[in-house]
Amino acid sequence: MARSRNHEEWTKPPPFTQDEYVDSRIYSDEDIFEEELDKIFKKAWIPVCHESEMPNAYDFRTVTIAREPIVMTRGKDMKVRAFLNVCPHRGNMIERRPSGSFLEGSPSGNPRHMTCMFHAWQFDMKGRCVYISRQEEGYQDRLKKQQVGLRELKCEVYFGGFVWVCLDDNTPFETVEQWSAGSLECLKPSLDEEPLEVFHYHKAIIPCNYKLWHDTNCEFYHDYLHYHNRITGFNDSYFARKNMGFDNGHINVGSFEVNYDNYEGFDSRAAISFPHLPPNHWYMIDMFPGVNFNLRGSSLRCDLMTPLGPDKVMIEFRGLGLKSDDEATRQSRIEHHNSIWGPFGRNLHEDLLAVTGQGASMHPRAERRQILHGRHENETIHDENGMRHFYEEWGRWMDRLPADPDQPFLEGDNIKKAAVAAAT
């Protein structure tokens, strides 16, 4: 009997064009990772939280983007703003709590101000410096408060109340609408009809590259992993769902009607489906470089990825419903959400196990592997055109060829025309 493949055969390029596979070093290389933070994450619009998580004046939340600490505040005027969470005096991180309120005073902070605990400089909700301790004694008239405000960041509340931040003042995408390039339109009427509210939040730190989580969100071929999805989907309308690419690397997965009744113990979600959404429909939006909006009829899920290293990602999972929900409706939404997407739900742990397995294989010292993205099925659900679209954009931003990151990126069809070593 013929044997399998030896080392030489295993390391040969696959019988695909160079847009149909990627080199696993893009998931493990330390230098590539650092470059991604600078070239991608410091330039993209990121939905860092939802406005319902800071409902009152003086509420705040903190996050990081590309390791930069950021604080979002809600002013007395109820406007949400974002600032670098860095003191202009000696660079201390001003606020360390994940969330809270500046309304009341604290041992190291005055009411209604952000106070740096180090030397007690204070800032208001608009980021203006309002107090410098022993200002005249130390600085005489050489330093004015106006010269030491916080750095304000581009910030917009958009798409059902998500708070978006961009670190690049000179981004060519002036608004989130421009950045999203039409990819949010399929869900916009459903999310903008009335205010939403976060009812679920948990986070997980997973030993894999952030792009692997993005991949598993945007390709549905892996529904073989999910017994629940096979039982409730896998019919003609499921296989007709289209993957659609938008500018800037974003992707939609088209909708179909899920048959929740086919899964023992589950019921239809039609009665409390989101506004304007056909009953039990299921849309997915995957945004470059690592954000996912997933609306399964009655509950919305949002994944935000914060890359912590080439082989480590923090994923924040949020579940949202309508703010107007009565208690019973909210409880149903929570059950619908948690039974599939909660930490003990039907699907989420399966996805996490799969990407952890990929992470174990693609560790930083691993020999390069070829990761195949070569399925073509008329751009329908099990086609891998969504991933190809994402990695084309990745290559453009990084000026690296995903199939061989030591080579510069080749625009469009040039990838396909590039010489491909025969593997057959």
Query: Which positions touch Fe ion (CB under 5 A)?
Result: 351
Residue 6 buriedness (CB in 10 A; 0-12 / 13-18 / 19+): exposed
Q: What percent of the residues of the chain are helix, what percent strand, and what percent coil, each to the nearest 5? A: 30, 25, 45
Q: Is 92 in the site for ligand FES (CB under 6 A)?
A: yes
Q: Which residues of 323-362 are buried (b: 16+ CB within 10 A; e: fewer)?
A: eebeeeebebbbebbbbbbbeeebbbebbbebbeebbeeb
In the complex with Fe ion, the residue whose CB is nearer, 124 or 351, is 351
Task: Compute the least distance from the CB of residue 47 to Fe ion, in Å.
Answer: 21
- Binding-site partner at residue 90 among Fe ion, ligand FES, none, CB < 5 to 8 Å by type: ligand FES
Distance of CA 182 to the CA centre of its chain: 17
- Binding-site partner at residue 121 among Fe ion, ligand FES, none, CB < 5 to 8 Å by type: ligand FES
- Binding-site partner at residue 118 among Fe ion, ligand FES, none, CB < 5 to 8 Å by type: ligand FES
In the complex with ligand FES, the residue whose CB is nearer, 90 or 416, is 90
What's the rounded Cα separation, in Å, for the pair 228 and 264?
Answer: 10
In the complex with ligand FES, the residue whose CB is nearer, 71 or 322, is 71
User: In the set 90, 144, 349, 417, which binds ligand FES (CB under 6 A)?
Assistant: 90
Residue 289 buriedness (CB in 10 A; 0-12 / 13-18 / 19+): buried
Residue 418 buriedness (CB in 10 A; 0-12 / 13-18 / 19+): middle
Interface stretch with ligand FES, choices 85-93, 163-171, 261-269, 298-306 (CB under 6 A): 85-93
Task: Compute the least distance from the CB of residue 284 to Fe ion, in Å.
Answer: 10
Interface stretch with ligand FES, choices 31-39, 65-73, 118-126, 251-259 (CB under 6 A): 118-126
**At 420, phi and psi to the nearest 5?**
-120, 125
Which parts of 212-332 are beta strand (E)?
Answer: 243-245, 251-253, 282-287, 291-296, 299-309, 312-322
Q: Angle between the 348-361 and 210-218 helix axes, to the nearest 10 degrees?
A: 130
For ligand FES, the binding residues in 151-210 under the rule CB under 6 A are: none
Task: Compute the least distance from the CB of residue 240 to Fe ion, in Å.
Answer: 19
User: In the set 37, 101, 118, 312, which binds ligand FES (CB under 6 A)?
Assistant: 118
Q: Is 119 in the site for ligand FES (CB under 6 A)?
A: yes
Q: Compute how many other C-beta atoms are within 10 angstroms of the C-beta atom of residue 299.
A: 27
User: In the set 121, 159, 162, 179, which binds ligand FES (CB under 6 A)?
Assistant: 121
What's the rounded Cα separation, in Å, for the pair 195 and 178?
Answer: 22
Q: Is 114 in the site for ligand FES (CB under 6 A)?
A: no
Q: Compute how many other C-beta atoms are within 10 angstroms of the C-beta atom of residue 62.
A: 19
- Binding-site partner at residue 351 among ligand FES, Fe ion, none, CB < 5 to 8 Å by type: Fe ion
Task: Compute the least distance from the CB of residue 131 to ligand FES, in Å.
Answer: 10
For residue 289, what are the contacts with CB-CB under 8 A and spacing of at least 6?
36, 40, 41, 44, 210, 211, 214, 249, 305, 394
Interface stretch with ligand FES, choices 112-120, 150-158, 334-342, 350-358 (CB under 6 A): 112-120
Q: Is 89 in the site for ligand FES (CB under 6 A)?
A: yes
For ligand FES, the binding residues in 222-251 under the rule CB under 6 A are: none
Interface stretch with ligand FES, choices 39-47, 114-122, 136-144, 228-236 (CB under 6 A): 114-122
Chain residues binding ligand FES by CB under 6 A are 87, 89-90, 92, 116, 118-119, 121
